[in-house]
Amino acid sequence: MSDQTRFILNETDLPKAWYNILADSPVPPAPVLHPQTLEPVTPDFLSVLFPMELILQEISTERFIEIPEPVREIYKLYRPTPLVRARRLEQMLDTPAHIYFKNESVSPVGSHKPNTAIAQAYYNKAAGTKAMTTETGAGQWGAALSMACNFFGIDLEVYMVKVSYEQKPYRRIFMQTYGAQVFPSPSERTQYGRALLARDPNNRGSLGIAISEAVEAAATSGGTKKYSLGSVLNHVLLHQTVIGEEALKQMDLAGEYPDVVIGCVGGGSNFAGLAYPFLRQNLKDGQRTRLVAVEPTATPSLTKGVYTFDYGDTARMAPIVKMYTLGHTFMPAGIHAGGLRYHGMAPSLSALYDAGLIEAAAVPQVATFEAAVLFTRAEGILPAPESAHAVRVAIDEALEAKKRGEKRVILFNLSGHGHFDMAAYQSYLAGELQDYAYPAEAVAEAMKELPQVEMAAV
């Protein structure tokens, strides 16, 4: 076991391939369905929204997919990211556990999201795309794609959930600085946005609505704009596995192997990015690492949702996928982890959770910020409210190890820093944050709106 604190790889150790879980997953993926016909989608339908290379990655079962050299060159601006042993946190908790975290907050925009944004912009550029559309909640994804599109000379329009657009101007300005156009959603720019505003001019928006607008803007552009999604889809999770591939090498440098791997989940990409390479070692190499996906009690798609076919967006324009869902009509409570407010969960992750290969935990907001403040004071890094969910469970694991007097090796993903989330910390420090548990009745109610998929048809 190493006595180092930070485990740093060289540029030459940057992974050359992403890992595709579909090659090894014992649960076959459910078909993706067309939102109107409810029949399996054709590449033609998807090619309105995405370049062919990303569609092929979406359905690929090849185990490793080579990372193109121009993508690796840009990765080198911040990758490989450090793996850090949280020694001061261990001391503060007085635990025999060893706590490691993968620090994805060191990317230029402060989160893991550029890992896929750069890849998606690259494949779009290679296919001749001149303009793209996307949605963003609090702005983390929007900032990542703004940076990536700027690197590849692609125009970008971002539909930003209106409540964030108004209350969190800094990430909007960040996106604009990269040259992106940012619109509050619902907007007057799309038919769907106009319809919603006609019904309620004060509609504050949701991620599901913003996705609908970004999809409509691309789908009705006559082929001039492509759409991009920052989580959920197979190709997005694929691109994020660069995190776990590096972490495997770094745990090796540390001379340890994790008993438990932890990540927060919104759509599932940062968790899958770290966990899938370790899941491969479970499936193929006889390792027995527990993999824990952490969500807020306010958006409990895995722990309270239903595993079924549902629309990916509120307006029912995006494809239907089989996933753990709270229903596409879900309107999130105003919790501070903006990146964790999606109604569904990545299909591959949903299938693996359903098969019992992955665990899930839901944690309430106040305890999450308690953990975030403890982590800040111990390690000096102020985590994103999203990442703080992983910090909470990492600390709980360390405390349980202490109670049992056992050594436990814990690895979690610090998916981002919280420098743009000071208002959330301010509320916490002022004692104003409240817990919220999404009611099971609301899930049951939303299930009435599911697409009526004939199982025979799929």
Q: Does 134 bind ligand PLP (CB under 6 A)?
A: no
Nearer to ligand PLP, 110 or 184 (CB): 110
Angstrom distances, CA of residue 457 to CA of 40, 123, 254: 9, 33, 50
Q: Which stretch binds ligand PLP (CB under 6 A): 12-20, 146-154, 192-200, 260-268?
A: 260-268
Least gap, CB of 433 to ligand PLP (angstroms): 18
Phi-psi sector, 290: left (phi>0), alpha (psi -120 to 50), beta: beta
Give the integer Cα–Cα distance in Å for 273 and 13. Answer: 17
| 189 CB neighbour count, 10 Å cutoff | 17
Q: Does 140 bind ligand PLP (CB under 6 A)?
A: yes
Q: Give the residue, chosen from 213, 245, 310, 386, that forms a contact with ligand PLP under the rule CB under 6 A.
A: 386
Nearer to ligand PLP, 97 or 388 (CB): 388
Task: Give 99's strand partners.
Answer: 410
Q: Give the residue, chosen from 103, 190, 234, 270, that forms a contact with ligand PLP under the rule CB under 6 A.
A: 270
Tokens 């001379």 label which residue?
255
Q: Which stretch binds ligand PLP (CB under 6 A): 63-71, 146-154, 188-196, 268-276?
A: 268-276
The footprint of ligand PLP on residues 311-340 (CB under 6 A) is 339-340
Q: Which stretch binds ligand PLP (CB under 6 A): 157-165, 264-272, 319-327, 361-369?
A: 264-272
The footprint of ligand PLP on residues 86-125 (CB under 6 A) is 111, 113
Element (H, E) at 71: helix 69-75
Nearest CA to 207 among 309, 338, 114, 110?
A: 338
Tokens 């000071």 label which residue?
422
Burial tier of 155 (Cβ tally within 10 Å: 0-12, 13-18, 19+) = middle
Give the integer Cα–Cα distance in Å for 371 and 353. Answer: 25
Q: Does 244 bind ligand PLP (CB under 6 A)?
A: no
Least gap, CB of 285 to ligand PLP (angstroms): 25
Q: Which stretch binds ligand PLP (CB under 6 A): 247-255, 259-267, 327-335, 369-377?
A: 259-267
Residues that bind ligand PLP (CB under 6 A): 111, 113, 140-141, 231, 264-270, 339-340, 384, 386-387, 415-416
